[in-house]
Amino acid sequence: MTESRSRDRARTEASIVAAAREVLAEDGFQGFGVNAVARRAGCDKQLIYRYFGGLDGLVDAIGADLAGWLESSLASESPPATYAELVERLILGFLEALRGNVLVQKIAAWEIAGPSPVVARLTAARGMALGRWMANTRGDLAPPPGLDAPALNIFLIAAVQQLVLSSSAAGSFSGVPLQSEADWERVKAAAVLIARRVYAEG
């Protein structure tokens, strides 16, 4: 008596993707494999090969699921008045969005620790989303002339990403705790101050 499951392909595919997201979010990319995902999904690993063509295809499916995450998290109410305010919102929004999404954190860590073409595509999509949001909400705001805005902005974004990942993994960075909400308020204040001083008017 081999107890087959619901025999609904779409449903099974969805459950596999869900299981993959769970395994990745909980255990990270280590221990992320066909066996673990299939166990979690309660089905045979063969289905991962049959429906997704292997782990890579499954990761792509996760990526498709993840598209638009940043956009929805970064939704801004009113248009910013200055370029400094625009960057300020970008940084703070990205910080909160990343802090609230463990899955994306794990993917970011994955990209750093074990680069692979598949994961690189996920990360690239995230970068594109950031750029798109910038372009959309920027309006006609322009950075002060003479400033290398892209370089400055990825510098700030990189800081946020590193601090969030370190917080998740170790609870601190370079000896400074990153756990309580007060800790994060310090970080956010620092980010805001930097954005304002860097893009100060006049």
Determine the size of the site formed for a copy of itself (CB under 8 A).
Answer: 50
In one-letter notation, the amino acid at residue 10 is: A
Backbone φ and ψ for 76, nearest 5 degrees, come out as -110, 145
Cβ proximity to a copy of itself: between 43 and 163 the closer is: 163
Q: Residue 163 interacts with a copy of itself (CB under 8 A)?
A: yes
- Residue 4: name its binding partner from a copy of itself, DNA, none (Cβ under 5 to 8 Å by kind): DNA
- Residue 132: name its binding partner from DNA, a copy of itself, none (Cβ under 5 to 8 Å by kind): none
- Residue 33: name its binding partner from a copy of itself, DNA, none (Cβ under 5 to 8 Å by kind): DNA
For 96, residues 6+ apart whose C-beta sits below 8 A from its C-beta are 73
Among 115, 136, 139, 179, binds a copy of itself (CB under 8 A): 115
Q: Residue 36 interacts with a copy of itself (CB under 8 A)?
A: no
Q: Residue 192 interacts with a copy of itself (CB under 8 A)?
A: no
What is the rounded CA–CA span in Å between residue 121 and residue 63?
Answer: 8
Q: Residue 82 interacts with a copy of itself (CB under 8 A)?
A: no
Please, are residues 99 and 165 in contact by the beta-carbon 8 Å criterion? no
Binding mask 47-76 for DNA (x = CB under 7 A): x-xx---xx---------------------
Residues that bind DNA (CB under 7 A): 1-9, 11-12, 31-36, 42-47, 49-50, 54-55
